[in-house]
């Protein structure tokens, strides 16, 4: 089955291309390279031994997307391509609403024109805001997003749901990611943040590699065991695999208007300091860090209840946070120029 992977040169997209290939799917990659590097295709080839078709296309360009669907007969689409920096979205809301929502509308419209039925969407636990009860289930009410980025994910889910229930034939799954970390165990692909990383783990690995002076832990006065925030850190390969399982579930579904959402997390929450200590232990490195003030908009604690994805999609996280931090470090060592 031929699957269009938008944003397939990105962090989660590239790992999903590898897992799709392993599961016998035929990925076709599009990416506008706004936040990704073509070198990643070499890493994918070294892992899989294959040159998957790649098109440098922006998902907002409906004519280009139409010609792609004319050329490649797709059986499904996994849509990763989006802007994803929380802080940047606060400074540039129009760019985020335009890029993240127009690209979705273009894909759904063209899928309908070409009768492509299976759609997997990259959503985020950010739609829950700060949950009142933990762990979060899919029934936990969504809260007003704390950033335009998060709002684009919530609006996108509603667009997909309404489209599925109006248009016979299309089936869709939204995967609500928690915190993806790590890299492929081969250290041939991994996270390539643009500029100064806003996410925790790439900032840690760059600091440990001497590229950054020191990590600032954003606040240790939260209501948690050690005062630092709690998150559900999931290995990027486990997350990639959830996309394969989602496609397989969609293939099994005969109902013409199937729509569902799944939390994709490990089901365990760890604090920022627990992650830092695990990173130091598993890699035998000392991390330079200081405790600083809280970061505006951070959620205090969130982690998934993953029964639904376990039971319905027959998926569960296999890798530990320690393995993810080992893989993240090996990848950082691989891409850091030797002094």
Q: Give pairs for 252-256: CB < 8 Å, separation 24+.
A: 253/171, 255/171, 256/168, 256/169, 256/171
* Minimum CB–partner distance for residue 84 and ligand WQD (Å): 4
Q: Does 86 bind ligand WQD (CB under 6 A)?
A: yes
Q: Which of 40, 104, 183, 229 binds ligand WQD (CB under 6 A)?
A: 229
270-271 vs 230-231, strand pairing mode: antiparallel
Interface mask toward ligand WQD for 180-199; x: CB under 6 A: ------------------xx
User: How does DSSP classify residue 298?
Assistant: -
Closer to ligand WQD by Cβ: residue 126 or 171: 126
Q: Which of 14, 118, 123, 126 binds ligand WQD (CB under 6 A)?
A: 126
Q: Shortest Cβ contact with ligand WQD: which residue?
A: 229
SS3 call for 49: coil
Closer to ligand WQD by Cβ: residue 27 or 129: 129
Cα separation of the two ends of the chain: 45
**Residue 270 is among the residues annotated as catalytic for this protein:** no
Interface mask toward ligand WQD for 44-83; x: CB under 6 A: ----------------------------------------
- In 3D space, the residue among 38, 145, 39 whose CA is nearest the CA of residue 86 turns out to be 145
Element housing 124 (H / E): strand 118-124
The dihedral formed by the CA atoms of 249, 149, 295 and 128, expressed in degrees to the nearest 10: -40
User: How does DSSP classify residue 226?
Assistant: T
The count of chain residues that interact with ligand WQD, using the rule CB under 6 A, is 18
Which residues in the 150-179 window bind ligand WQD by CB under 6 A? 179
* Minimum CB–partner distance for residue 114 and ligand WQD (Å): 28
Q: Which of these is catalytic: 83, 96, 128, 149?
A: 149
User: How does DSSP classify residue 319?
Assistant: S
Q: Which of 110, 175, 215, 236 binds ligand WQD (CB under 6 A)?
A: 215
Count how many residues are written for the chain.
339
- In 3D space, the residue among 315, 316, 308, 314 whose CA is nearest the CA of residue 262 turns out to be 308
* Minimum CB–partner distance for residue 294 and ligand WQD (Å): 7
Q: Which residues are tagged catalytic?
A: 149
Positions in the binding site for ligand WQD (CB under 6 A): 84, 86, 124, 126, 179, 198-200, 203, 215-218, 229, 231, 272, 295, 298
């Amino acid at each position: 089955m031929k699957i269009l992977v938008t944003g397939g040169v990105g962090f989660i997209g590239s790992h999903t291309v590898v897992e799709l290939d392993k599961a016998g799917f035929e990925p076709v990659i599009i990416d506008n390279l706004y936040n990704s590097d073509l070198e990643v295709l070499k890493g994918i080839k070294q892992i899989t031994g294959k040159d998957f078709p790649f098109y440098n296309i922006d998902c907002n360009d409906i004519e280009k997307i139409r010609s792609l669907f004319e050329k490649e007969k797709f059986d499904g689409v996994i849509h990763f391509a989006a802007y994803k920096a929380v802080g940047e979205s606060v400074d540039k809301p129009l760019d985020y609403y335009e890029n993240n929502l127009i690209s979705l509308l273009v894909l759904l419209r063209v899928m309908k024109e070409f009768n492509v039925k299976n759609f997997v969407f990259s959503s985020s636990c950010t739609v829950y805001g700060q949950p009142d009860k933990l762990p979060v289930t899919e029934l936990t009410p969504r809260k007003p997003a704390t950033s335009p980025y998060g709002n684009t994910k919530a609006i996108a889910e509603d667009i997909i749901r309404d489209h599925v229930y109006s248009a016979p034939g299309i089936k869709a799954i939204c995967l609500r990611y928690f915190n993806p970390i790590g890299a492929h165990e081969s250290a041939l692909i991994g996270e390539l943040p643009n500029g100064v990383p806003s996410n925790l783990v790439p900032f840690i690995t760059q600091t440990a590699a001497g590229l950054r002076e020191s990590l600032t832990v954003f606040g240790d006065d939260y209501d948690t065991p050690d005062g630092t925030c709690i998150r559900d850190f999931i290995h990027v390969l486990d997350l990639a695999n959830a996309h394969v399982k989602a496609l397989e579930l969609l293939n099994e579904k005969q109902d013409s208007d199937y729509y569902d959402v799944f939390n994709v997390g490990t089901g365990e929450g760890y604090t920022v300091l627990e992650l830092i200590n695990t990173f130091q232990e598993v890699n035998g490195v000392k991390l330079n860090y200081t405790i600083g003030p809280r970061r505006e908009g951070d959620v205090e604690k969130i982690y998934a209840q993953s029964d639904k994805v376990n039971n319905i999609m027959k998926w569960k996280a296999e890798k530990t946070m320690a393995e993810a931090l080992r893989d993240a470090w090996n990848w950082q060592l691989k891409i850091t120029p030797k002094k």
